[in-house]
Chains A and B, each alone.
Chain A
């Protein structure tokens, strides 16, 4: 069995002392966390270790002794050997360095006094009694901060046994309180670990941490006010509810409120995934606000917003005029097809009247448009996503008449298709059995047959006219829906883009680890195998996959085949569906 010792790089040049660490259960390996130097009192060492054990839930023990040769301290070796009696262990490690050699010498003394040494086998056989030792050097700070992926919660009870490396990472990460004592502390013990040169801290980070708690409490209180306001009965009446579920601005603001609840909760994030989620939401919110402010500065700089408002009414007029021309073309002989004159005129005049109503409403509103747009443009300071949602709503309102025409055309066409199919069955002597959901034969009276055939003929010959109107308005509606879909997709993208995770991967790649890399360090005869363990950062594509923020993404509700079938039959289509619950 091979014994693996994980040794921190910071202790390579430490003075002689005791090795403190943790034996990994079940894997015949040990993680060295720190070195305690002389002079020390064994009782105090034991007391300190038991204190830390209760703090960190890590089983810290004295693993062995470490000796670093220095002039004037040659008598240490025998002293170190005697320490094994003070700290009884099943296995006592004796690591030492020699002047002039780069490798360590390692001796392991087992409980029954048997000495295991790593010596070069003179005869070249691999005998089983010569147990081998591997010394793995690791960077303590990086391993402490790193998180192995796929993420498994420590508290989660899972059936999967954590692997050896995962246990090593967990041990180092959980032993953070061990690294708080540095060389400037006047305690009874002197330790060497990655922070022993002085604790790392930054005044700004500490101030922010202190300030964040009252700020979070205040913001949570504001959010609760907002929720109380939204829970008013009057806002839950059906028309208001219906409109607010259709307006993407309301949807987006509701979504942001949920985000804030996650980010501003005063509870500290317990697990790595929670922390990443909070950080991602916060950074994406800041990015949103920054882009929104950029947009505002661009819009208001040369009074572009007034120019936009001035062009809005002429554009709406132009759209109305184009629609009018289209209808007049349909009322004539469109594409050489011959329409049924009477129906054509009726439908055409009906739609023309709608357009006339619409343009008069627009003209009524035109003096106020500039002011309204100016104030609405200011709402972009709440974020670019907000501005895009407002744009989507404005487009929806301005093209409301197209939506109405589409609904009229679709309903008419749908009615016609159903009538035709039913009368076609009558023509053939069949009937739709509602009870059995199938087509049955049926004997009709003569007058039923007569009227049915007449109606069928009328509907059939009126079909091309209706179909053409339906086709034209469906195409227009699809164009508008496509534009809105693009806006929603970009809003979704800004909402769910996890800039923090990508930034962490680029700037601090060791924090997100996919695994480890080993490198064989130079071999010297008489020393065990030395390996250097480095952190293998997560691939960028895995970062993107792992840390997506769940979002109300727009997705096509129906497949292409279902969509085409609906279009053919004349059912109303709503191709983009907002998911009502969060999904990843």
Chain B
């Protein structure tokens, strides 16, 4: 698949990769840009300078140690829970659809939706602050009544133009 330039709604560039394992099995991977070293340095310096300024006035070393601990803990939480490295959509014909998010710390969270629960995959549009964004989502059947829709699962954390590529490729 040709490497087109995609961006997410915040303007960061992302890349889409499509792998065909078999005639009825495909895997789409959306990769986010990595954690930028410059941002990390800027935030750390800011926090530590602020802590040093407070220390200058209060002469309490606990301020400095708490700033260090705060920075470390904040960074660990960010890479473990917030920073998504890549997301994968694996479509296996007549078995189901698997969504997997891989975080910067290596943690992976996966959900698998069986074919019998799947109603349809659609592109939905939503109004987000000042703009309209398009996102791909899966409609899941209600177990009691197969005609109604029980829940809507958004795929990937906000994409825009690559939605169309994935939908076309299906």
Contacts and interface: CB of A to CB of B under 8 A. Distances in A.
Contacts of B46: none
A554 interface: no
A74 interface: no
B8 interface: no
Contact of B143 (A160, A520, A536): A160
B103 to A, nearest CB: 15
Contacts of B94: 1-2, 4, 28
Contact of A536 (B110, B116, B144): B110
B117 interface: yes
Interface string A424-451: 0000000000000000000000000000
B116 A164 contact: yes
B47 interface: no
Interface string B17-32: 0000111110100000
Interface stretch (A205-213, A271-279, A474-482, A511-519): A511-519
Contact of A529 (B25, B98, B116, B144): B25
A163 B112 contact: no
Contacts of A536: 110-112
Q: Is the interface of B mostly helix, strand, loop or mixed?
A: strand
Nearest to B146: A161
Given A132-B22, A132-B24, A517-B110, A160 B144 contact: yes
Interface string A122-136: 000010000010100
B21 A520 contact: yes
Interface string B102-130: 00000000111010110000000000000
Contact of B22 (A1, A516, A529): A529
Contacts of A165: 114
A28 to B, nearest CB: 8
Identify which of B95, B111, B144 gathers the most chain A CB atoms within 10 Å of its CB.
Answer: B95
Nearest to B110: A517
Interface string A300-335: 000000000000000000000000000000000000
Interface residues of B, number: 21
A28 B24 CA distance: 16
B92 interface: yes
B33 interface: no
A252 B150 CA distance: 42
Contacts of A132: 22-24, 93
Contact of A517 (B24, B98, B117, B143): B98
Interface string A520-561: 100100001101000010000000000000000000000000
A134 B90 CA distance: 14
A529 B111 contact: no
Given A163-B117, A517-B98, A2 B24 contact: yes
Contacts of B93: 2, 132
Given A132-B23, A518-B95, A518-B98, 19 more contacts: A2-B95, A4-B95, A126-B23, A134-B92, A134-B95, A164-B114, A164-B116, A517-B98, A517-B100, A518-B112, A520-B21, A520-B90, A523-B22, A529-B21, A529-B22, A529-B24, A529-B92, A536-B111, A536-B112
Interface of B: 21-25, 27, 90, 92-95, 98, 100, 110-112, 114, 116-117, 143-144
13 contacts: A2-B94, A4-B94, A28-B94, A132-B93, A134-B25, A163-B114, A164-B114, A515-B111, A516-B112, A517-B98, A531-B92, A536-B111, A536-B112
